[in-house]
């Protein structure tokens, strides 16, 4: 909470451009991305909500606040542009189960769960028993993960 207050104060003191640059720098440090700031290992974030994860194409991309996303088609890119927060994975794309323990662990973009309109990613290791544990104990684990994730902000 203290970190959020400090960030808000800094944002108020900065110009809009400086504030946007601060947000971009923060996201690039905290989100699960590769060296080119590509999220979801190139998977199309909108595809999760349509049927199943699909690899995006490097020629159909969109940069949202410093994070690059690939899309399997232009329609998905356009949906994302309209409401990026709807499609971005929770906890910056890190494994949701590990985030409940305060750990940033790279997730497998093919191991996911959507509930309440939110996309959660998981590690390969947790694909069986712990993934099922997340589903069964969603409310409690989501609360822990959300609390831990806010400490990174």
Alpha carbon of residue 13 to chain centroid: 27
- Give strand pairing partners of 119: 114
Structure tokens at 127: 């694909």
Residue written as token pair 């750990």: 103
Q: List pLDDT tens digits, range 65-98.
A: 999 999 999 999 999 999 999 999 999 999 998 8
User: Which residues have CB under 8 Å from 7's CB, separation 6+?
Assistant: 22, 26, 153
* Predicted local confidence at residue 1, as pLDDT: 55
In degrees to the nearest 10, what's the CA dihedral of 131, 100, 143, 42?
-70
- C-alpha 48/C-alpha 83 separation (Å) is 15
Instruction: Look at 3-7, 115-119, 146-150 and tell me which has the smallest mean pLDDT.
Output: 3-7
* Predicted local confidence at residue 144, as pLDDT: 84
What pLDDT band is residue 153 in, cutting at 50, 70 and 90? Answer: low
């Amino acid at each position: 909470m203290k970190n959020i207050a400090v960030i808000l104060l800094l944002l108020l003191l900065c110009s809009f451009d400086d504030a946007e640059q601060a947000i971009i720098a923060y996201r690039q440090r905290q989100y699960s991305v590769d060296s080119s700031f590509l999220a979801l290992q190139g998977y199309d974030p909108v595809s999760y909500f349509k049927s199943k994860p699909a690899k995006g194409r490097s020629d159909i991309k969109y940069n949202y606040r410093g994070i690059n996303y690939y899309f399997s088609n232009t329609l998905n890119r356009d949906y994302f542009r309209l409401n990026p927060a709807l499609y971005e994975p929770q906890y910056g794309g890190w494994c949701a189960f590990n985030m409940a323990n305060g750990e940033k662990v790279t997730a497998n973009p093919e191991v996911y769960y959507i509930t309440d309109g939110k996309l959660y990613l998981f590690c390969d290791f947790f694909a069986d028993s712990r993934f099922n544990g997340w589903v069964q104990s969603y409310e409690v684990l989501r609360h822990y993960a959300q609390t831990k994730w806010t400490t990174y902000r």
